[in-house]
Amino acid sequence: MLECLDVLNETLIERGEEPVAFDHDCREGICGSCGFLINGVAQGPERATTVCQLTMRHFKDGQELVIEPWRAAAFPLIKDLIVNRRSFDHIIEAGGYISVSTGQAPDGNAILVGKDAADRAMDAAVCIGCGACVAACPNGSAALFTGAKIAHLGILPQGKPERDRRALDMVVQMNAESFGNCTNIGECSGVCPKAIALGVIATMNRDYLRASWKKRDDMETTIITPAGGSSMGSTLKLDHKPAR
Ligand code: SF4
Ligand code: FES
């Protein structure tokens, strides 16, 4: 698909016209730079495929394709097919670090990781931050992206020391950006080029709520905004003082 745009741009440049601006880097489906709507579908018609890996044989000869940039309030348009996805970076930055002891590289088997945890963490870690989930969601929610980032570190033992703080900070940052709330529609997972499952949103909500409750003893009033529930941005205020 991107090579098709290359040919289009070469033709436009030869004619002295402006080429179509689009993002790309690896062209291997691993960097998350590329992405746009093809005939209204984020990342095109092929399941679990980025537009850079989409081949033209999936379309009929002579078929008309309408390509558009991501449409989401949190991704302002820069030019043509390029949008600003800095809001994703803000969420990642809010996640911070994991604690690692300095010194020699630890033995590979020093921290044992169960097969189930390793599989679940890896399934979430494949998120490339492309933004298709946001573009496909009628609410413009970043819950699948944020859930993947929270899950892939929180599930592993190495990510557990900061698990609570990370979930709180990343969800707070997600809510501070212009993303909408998740109402469990599922479009995000359907278009995700890495086939990330909706379960990461449940993981995010569970981590966030548990971390909120752990903090309750420090606060007279706790404000909880479920990240993936159907509360549509409402806030739940607990008006009791927590038991000491
Ligand atoms: S969850 Fe999927 S669609 Fe969303 S940013 Fe990550 S890879 Fe892209
Ligand atoms: S160009 Fe890197 S994922 Fe498409």
Pocket test for ligand 2, best of 22, 25, 192 (most atoms within 8 A of CB): 25
- Residue 70 φ then ψ, to 5°: -55, 140
Instruction: Flag whether 104 is in a domain.
Output: no
Instruction: Flag whether 226 is in a domain.
Output: yes
51 lines ligand 1 (CB under 6 A): no
- Asked whether 143 and 182 are in contact (CB, 8 A), the reply is yes
Q: Exposed e or buried b for every residue in 189-212, given b needs 16+ CB within 10 A?
A: bebbbbebbbebbebbbebbbebb
Bridge-based pairing of strands 37-38 and 41-42 is antiparallel
Identify the pLDDT of residue 203: 96
Instruction: Flag whether 244 is in a domain.
Output: no
Identify the pLDDT of residue 240: 40
User: What is the domain count for the chain?
Assistant: 1
Identify the pLDDT of residue 238: 41
Question: Closest ligand 1 atom to the C-alpha of 129?
Answer: 5
Instruction: Flag whether 40 is in a domain.
Output: yes
Identify the pLDDT of residue 221: 52
Question: Closest ligand 2 atom to the C-alpha of 30?
Answer: 3
- The residue behind tokens 């189930």 is 116
127 lines ligand 1 (CB under 6 A): yes
Identify the pLDDT of residue 239: 43
Q: Ligand 2 centroid vs 161 CA: distance in angstroms?
A: 32
Instruction: Flag whether 106 is in a domain.
Output: no
- Residue 23 φ then ψ, to 5°: -85, 145
Kindly report the protein residue whose alpha carbon is nearest to atom 1 of ligand 1. 145
Q: Ligand 1 centroid vs 209 CA: distance in angstroms?
A: 23
Pocket test for ligand 2, best of 28, 38, 126 (most atoms within 8 A of CB): 28
CA 45, 51, 52: angle at the middle one, nearest 5? 145
Instruction: Flag whether 57 is in a domain.
Output: yes
Give the structural domain span for 175.
2-97+112-239
Identify the pLDDT of residue 17: 98
Q: Ligand 1 centroid vs 23 CA: distance in angstroms?
A: 16
Identify the pLDDT of residue 134: 98
Question: Closest ligand 2 atom to the C-alpha of 23?
Answer: 1
Kindly report the protein residue whose alpha carbon is nearest to atom 7 of ligand 1. 127
Instruction: Flag whether 103 is in a domain.
Output: no
Q: Which class for 186: exposed (0-12), middle (13-18), buried (19 or more C-beta within 10 A)?
A: middle
Identify the pLDDT of residue 219: 63
For the record, the structure tokens of 226 come out as 């479920």
For the record, the structure tokens of 77 come out as 């348009």
Profile the chain (244 residues) by mean pLDDT over runs of 10 residues. Answer: 97 98 97 97 97 95 96 97 98 90 81 94 97 98 98 93 95 96 96 98 97 78 52 41 40
Instruction: Flag whether 134 is in a domain.
Output: yes
Distance (Å, rounded) from C-alpha 206 to C-alpha 228? Answer: 10
Distance (Å, rounded) from C-alpha 189 to C-alpha 145? Answer: 10
Identify the pLDDT of residue 104: 85
83 lines ligand 1 (CB under 6 A): no
Question: Closest ligand 1 atom to the C-alpha of 195?
Answer: 2
